[in-house]
Amino acid sequence: MVEEIMGCAIETGESEEMDIVLSSMWPEDMNEAGRQFNVERPGVDKDMLEEVTIKREPDIVDFERLMELASYTEKGNWQLANLVRNWEYKQENAVRLLREELDTLSRQQRQVELKKLEILEEHRFERDGYGGNKRPISILDENLKYLYQDAPRRKRDTVFQDEKISVDAEYDSMVYWKQHAMNLEKLLEASLRREQVLMGKLQESIEKLEKQSSPVEELSQVLNRADNFLHFVLQNAPVVIGHQDKELRYRFIFNHFPSLREEDIIGKTDVEIFTGSGVKESQDFKQEVLERGLPAKREITFETELFGSKTFLIYVEPVFSKAGETIGVNYMGMEVTDQVRKREKMAKIREEMAVQKAKETELNKTIHITEESMRAKEMLATMSHEIRSPLSGVVSMAEILSNTKLDKEQRQQVNVMMSSGDLVLRIINDILDLSKVESGVMKLEAAKFRPREVVKHVLQTAAASLQKLLTLEGNVADDVPVEVIGDVLRIRQILTNLVSNAIKFTREGTVGIKLYVVPEPHNLSKQKSWKAPADQSSDSANTRKDSSLSRSQRGNHGCHEGEGIGDKNELKNMLNDQERDGTPTKEDKASHSNPQESVVWIRCDVYDTGIGIPEHAIPTLFKKYTQAGADTARKYGGTGLGLAICKQLVELMGGQLTVSSVEDKGSTFMFILPYKVSAVSDSSDELSDMDNQEVSDDEDLHAGSFLFEPRTLGLLSSQSSGRIQKLSPITYGIDPTQNYDGLLEDSSSPSSSITCQEMSSEEDAYLAAMDTSSEVDVSLNQSLNSDNLDSAEKNEQTHRCSEISQPSVTQERCQTEAQTEGSSECSSRKSNEGQKAEVKPKILLVEDNKINVIVAKSMMKQLGHNIDIVNNGAEAVRAVQCKDYDLILMDVCMPVMNGLQATRLIRSFEETGSWDGAVKAGVELQLPPQHSSPKFQQEIPRKRTPIIAMTANALSESADDCFANGMDSFVSKPVNFQNLKQCLQQYIPD
Amino acid sequence: MEIVGQLQKQFVDFSTSLYGEGFLDEQYLQLQKLQDESNPDFVCEVVSLFFDDSEKLLNNLATALQQQVVDFKQVDAHVHQFKGSSSSIGAQRVKNMCVAFRNFCEEKNLDGCLRCLQQLNHEYFLVKNKLETLFRLERQIVEAGGTVPVIVA
């Protein structure tokens, strides 16, 4: 538009018109400062111009100027261009006019000269020829101004002064002509003078013009400069400035980095120029501004072929005509791609930060919750522990109470007390177990046990407390090894739990256990959870097994000498079976490096004919505190922990627990577990030895079926033996007077006499005299059976030992034997009973704290044991050197030598038969080792004495230390009846 | 007989408060179980022994903590002893104090140890007083011809 106008202005050449156009182009709000380039009124702005020209100091002026220019760049720029062109045009015009003037003057001069020549000619020919037509020309025009406002125009007011020539003389007379010639001469002279004056004026005028052109130049310089400034300012600015008309066709565009030529843009609209996203939007936006008549800003991202992806911040303002109609828009765009990118990046980062923060908060919350739950679990464990201790006090006291003289009613009450106490204790144990498993504290034992025994005992126990008419049956497949290695306590716990569950939910029918070998399941094959603890404790288990084996064999020999030959064969068969079926095949599967051990997977089904489990309840069945339904809980009671614990235990051992059930038909809980099987060393000698010794135990070793009919509640009918075995209650309140005479009788036998030498007190004697029988208690049976295989050497020893009549038998061995005998609680006497004597177990307490010593000693005394006491590890070593103990209770933290070191030394002695280690450790042995025992003890390692650690914190990690140093177990301090009793029951079975 | 009844009630109340306030725990009951006709003063004897032992230990601790260079191992050993004996007689609060004390020992925190010693002293004499009162009551009951009631926590 501007160009058009410019062109128009140039065409017309009318400055007046230009004036109008220009003034209309100024923005309405143009202030005075903005007008400094309004060169149309120089008078007004003369000072300004001067100021501009004078002020060469760039900093101040430039700054102001730049600011001002910057404020109005959009319009100022083309305005300036206009002005400059206008200026140039005017200048040209002035020069042209001057030139025309000059032409006129020179023409006049030429005329005058011509006239002069004419006159001269005339004068020459007829001097007074032309007098009348001589007209002086006045070319003087002092007022001629070549000024900008009134652009110089062709001056048509040139004055020719016609002078009348008056001659006084008579016409055509001589005088007249003379006069006439004279006049003419004068006129000519005057004319020449005027000409000269004129010339001078012309000169002057030219000079003046030249002089006057200097402000024009300066102004143009100023304008140039302003223009330069504008260009300077804009040269690197990513700015596009434009004007578009009503139809949004570009009429003007400024783009310092034009990618298109002007002719490609001018007269076209955005959409005609570009293609791509954003173009339409920008066009619409401009249209909107045009329609609304209000300036607006918007950020538009273009995606065009021409310049790729760029974001522009666009400012569009409407342009109004004088009439107030919008005639177009001014448009200014700035490229802000980087800023947008940065901004977006920032936004993104901020967003990420927010997310991060949120995550952090979440994490903190989780950590907090985890900590809380850990604390809660710990708390639960601690609480359970705390509750358990006093509760076990209550229960055990009730037990003690039940052993006193009570009338029938009292006994019933006490029984109720005991059973409720037991129940609470069981629940607490459950909770404790669960939290132990969950917090990873649970340790698994690895010991030999007999699955058949376990099944039998579980059923037996269940049958004993059965209050319904249910058939309990057990079936162990032949391929199940007689002995496996695992955590029998946990397995028994699982079985008991499942069986009692089954009984709980079964009104009539059968509850049973089925055991059979299954191939290794693939999904569980390489679980480490089971192997790690098993490996860890396998050392101690193995060593322990040695000692208990020899003991049990000795004991059994004494006990069961003379049992039937048929049993021998049975055992043989059994062992062969085991070799044939069990070990070799299992060895294929063995993943363990130890060639002596292989792994067998045994599946155990516990089935019932009970109410079954609704299908929808099965998924939640193994959750904590969950039962199949609220009704169930109300009807059957219970905490809902049992199955959760079972599952966790099974999984901890590397197995799997599943359930299948049909409602109203019954349920079957199945679990498969890996067990290690230890290979049998096959010496036939040994075999026969063992046959000799173990026949009575083994009578139902291979019996795979157990049946408990409803009528025989609490009684076992073992099909193989057909014998009814009574489950003896474990008691320790021994009547010392019982069979006191028996002891005296026994004492006369050779073995007993040796034994008695060691007895230090009467108490020992009478305790040893406790009535025993060959039918061993369940727990003993188990421990005996668990180690029926050993090295030939040991067996030989054992055999020797077992020959009671042999006088050369060692003191130690006889004691052991006697002790074992003594600990065997029997309900009836067998044929060989008279040959045995009982000695009470020798127990050593290693404890430095006097008060602890007194308390422990008193307790042990009440439990029927006299104990030896030493005050530190070194003394303990010496004590063990002098005397062979059956049980050592060892404090861990002691001065001089702690319990762990002492245990290590004792273990080292047991294994090597030498006290070198102790000597090295600085223990002063009281006697040379040879004197303390018969000479062959030097070559033969001693049996392994159970060493029980006494630690202040049963849950602490020091349990690991205890085991690692060769201790067998630990009791928590302060000792109380409960844990002492448990410990004695476990390690000194009686 | 009325006096006996009163004394017995007093004894029961006092004992109960001792358990309730945590001065004693079930271990003390275990001690009482060890007392029978053949050993009628067992608890009293053990507790006296505990008193002697404790006072020695407290002295040792005080001395040990006053050293220029405190041997925390030594201190810990004393506290360990104290903890053992106090837990053996069921002096629960003393035992708990010992547990805290040992933590400070482990940290080698002298300030904490000194603070603990002070509190330990306090707890010890508190429980000593309580136990002595308890024994006095017992004696009074016996002297008045009654039997000492059996407290079951």
Q: What is the mean pLDDT of residues A144-158?
A: 43
- Residue pair A946/A969 in contact (Cβ under 8 Å)? The answer is yes
Question: Which chain A residues touch B85 with a CB distance below 8 Å?
Answer: 849-852
Confidence of residue A630 (pLDDT cuts 50, 70, 90): low
Tokens for A735, please give them.
Answer: 């009547």
Average pLDDT over every residue of A223-229: 81
**Structure confidence at residue A766 (pLDDT):** 39
- How close B47 gets to chain A, by Cα (Å)? 8
A974 touches chain B (CB under 8 A): yes
pLDDT at A629: 55
Q: Please state the φ and ψ torsions of residue A13, each to the nearest 5 degrees.
A: 65, 15
Nearest to A749 by CA among A836, A840, A824: A836
Across residues A852-858, what is the average pLDDT? 83
- Between A824 and B65, whose confidence is greater? B65
* β-strands A666-678, A724-725 pairing: unpaired
A-interface mutation test, from B24, B25, B29, B33, most A Cβ less than 10 A away: B33
Would you call A977 an interface residue with chain B, using a CB distance cutoff of 8 Å?
A: yes
Q: Is the pLDDT of residue A555 over 80?
A: no
Contact A518, A477 (CB under 8 A): no
The pLDDT, as a whole number, for residue A711 is: 53
Sort out which chain A residues have CB atoms less than 8 A from B54's CB and list them: none
Q: Which residue of A has its CA nearest to B35?
A: A858
- pLDDT higher at B87 or A574: B87
First to last CA, chain A: 120
Q: Do B85 and A852 touch (CB under 8 A)?
A: yes
Across the interface, whether the CB atoms of A854 and B46 are under 8 A apart is answered: yes
- A478-489 per-position pLDDT tens digit: 888 888 888 887
Q: Dihedral sign for Cα A213, A214, A217, A222, please.
A: negative
pTM, two decimals, is 0.33
Q: What H or E segment, with its residue span, contains residue A660?
A: strand A656-662
Backbone angles phi, psi at B40, to 5 degrees: -70, -20
Please give the Cα distance from B41 to B44 (Å, whole number). Answer: 5
Phi/psi of residue A510, nearest 5 degrees: -130, 145
The model's pLDDT over A653-673, given as tens digits with 9 standing for 90+, comes to 888 888 888 888 888 999 998
Contact A974 B29 (CB under 8 A): no
Instruction: Say if the Cβ atoms of A851 and B89 lie within 8 Å.
Output: yes
Interacting residues of A205 by C-beta distance below 8 A, sequence separation 6+ = A98, A101, A144
- What is the distance between the alpha carbons of residues B151 and B153, in angstroms, rounded to a whole number? 6
Interface list for A 415-444 with B (CB within 8 A): none
Sorted by sequence, the CB contacts under 8 Å of residue A644 that are 6+ apart come out as A434, A622, A623, A624, A625, A626
Reduced to 3 states (helix: H, G, I; strand: E, B; else coil), residue B101 is helix
Helix residue ranges, H only, A505-617: 531-560, 565-577, 583-589
Q: DSSP per residue over A339-372, as a string?
A: HHHHHHHHHHHHHHHHHHHHHHHHHHHHHHHHHH
Cβ-based contacts of A872 with chain B (< 8 Å): none
Confidence band of A635 (pLDDT split at 50, 70, 90): low
Which chain A residues have a beta carbon less than 8 Å from that of B87?
952, 973-974
**CA A984 – CA A886 distance, rounded (Å):** 10
What confidence score (pLDDT) does residue A702 get?
Answer: 63
Binned at pLDDT 50, 70 and 90, residue A806 comes out as: very low
- The region, left, alpha or beta by phi > 0 then psi within -120 to 50, assigned to residue A562 is left
ipTM: 0.81
With b for 16 or more beta-carbon neighbours within 10 A and e for fewer, the A695-709 pattern comes to: bbbbbbbbbbbbbbe
Residue B10, min C-alpha distance to chain A (Å): 24
CB contact under 8 A, B84 and A849: yes
DSSP symbols for B5-45:
HHHHHHHHHHHHHHHHTTSB-HHHHHHHHT-BTTBTTHHHH
Report the length, in residues, of chain B.
Answer: 153
Pairing of β A887-891 and β A239-245: unpaired
Closest by CA position to A909, among listed A918, A896, A922:
A918
Helix, strand, coil fractions of chain B, as percent rounded to 5: 80, 5, 20
Choice between A275 and B13, residue whose per-residue pLDDT is larger: B13
Q: Determine contact, residues A809/A933, Cβ cutoff 8 Å.
A: no
Task: Note the pLDDT tens digit of each residue in A674-724.
Answer: 888 876 543 333 333 343 443 344 445 566 787 877 654 444 444 433 333
- CB spacing of A855 vs B34 below 8 angstroms: yes
| Per-residue model confidence (pLDDT) at position A969 | 82
Pick B30's closest partner by Cβ from A849, A850, A977: A977
In this predicted structure, the answer to whether residue A839 has a pLDDT above a threshold of 80 is no
Chain A residues touching B90 at Cβ < 8 A: 974
Q: What is the mean pLDDT of chain A?
A: 67
Q: Give A517's strand partners.
A: A602
Whether A852 and B84 lie within 8 Å, measured CB to CB: yes
Smallest Cβ–Cβ distance between B49 and the set A848, A854, A858 belongs to: A854
Distance of CA A296 to the CA centre of its chain: 49
* Rounded CA separation A437/A646 (Å): 11
- Taking CB atoms and an 8 Å limit, are B46 and A855 in contact across chains? yes
More confident residue, A711 or A108: A108
Query: Residue A146 class from Cβ within 10 Å (0-12 exposed, 13-18 middle, 19+ buried)?
Result: buried
Give the pLDDT score at A596: 56
CB contact under 8 Å between B26 and A976, yes or no, is: yes
Rounded to whole angstroms, how far apart are CA atoms A181 and A917?
Answer: 169
Mean pLDDT of A253-278: 78
pLDDT of residue A940: 52
Give residue A693's pLDDT.
40
Position with higher pLDDT, A596 vs A786: A596
In the predicted structure, residue A847 carries a pLDDT above the cut 80: yes
**pLDDT grade for A597, boundaries at 50, 70 and 90:** low
From chain B, pick out residues whose CB is under 8 angstroms from the CB of A858: 34, 39, 42
**B27/A974 Cβ within 8 A:** yes
- Span A196-205, average pLDDT: 85
pLDDT higher than 60, residue A450: yes
Q: Which of A518, A484, A477, A455 is nearest to A680 (CA)?
A: A484
> Is B96 at the interface with chain A, CB within 8 A?
no
Decide if A845 touches B, using CB distance below 8 A. no
Give residue A989's pLDDT: 67
Q: What is the pLDDT of residue A836?
A: 41
pLDDT per residue over A897-920, tens digit each?
888 888 888 888 888 777 777 777
CA distance A84 to A62: 20
